[in-house]
Amino acid sequence: MTYVVIACHFASVAELCQTTIARLERTLKLVVEGDKIIVTGDVPYELGGPTLGRLMSEWLVKHEVPLGSITIQKGGVGTFSEARIVSQTEEKGEDIVVISSPWYLFQAKPIWQKRAQENGQNIRFISVENTGGSITWVIYIALGLLVRVSILFGLETVLESRLTNSQWSRLNGFRLNGCR
């Protein structure tokens, strides 16, 4: 089993937010020996600083998860690129479990399902409740509707390209607060 833990944001330059920690805590309750954990968030708070993925990996190791079972997903800057990279690197037939918040999953689930289907993987989702604030919920509901409309009209690749291109700047610093 491969668990994919979606990063939220930074509380400070080298500190994870409570939403990310809640997702990691949920993961700890699920993993058993032999499972793999992929953490997303290959973005720093500021250029040259630790990435969310690195901080998540360190958090898991501090909570007795063997380093060898953790992979920091590299190269992703948002939902589309992360789903594509993870699905392309995992084997056909792999069972993938995406762990995130309900607001994230509303917009991301169709994307992850499509990538898993393209790559012959089984996918399911675990929602970590009581995370995110009202602004985050509104933004992700709007994004979720946009994703669904783009898929319905065959414009998913256009949306993927535009959103991913707009998110590359995150590699120079990511300060968006997903808990508000």
Candidates 45, 46, 29, 49; CA nearest to 37 is: 29
State pLDDT tens for residues 76-99: 999 999 999 999 999 999 999 999
State pLDDT tens for residues 131-147: 988 899 999 999 999 99
Domain ranges of the chain: 2-172
| The CATH fold of domain 2-172 | Rossmann fold (3.40.50)
Answering whether pTM is above 0.75, one says yes
Bridge partners of 3, per DSSP, are 37, 97
Kindly state the percentage of the chain with pLDDT values over 90: 88
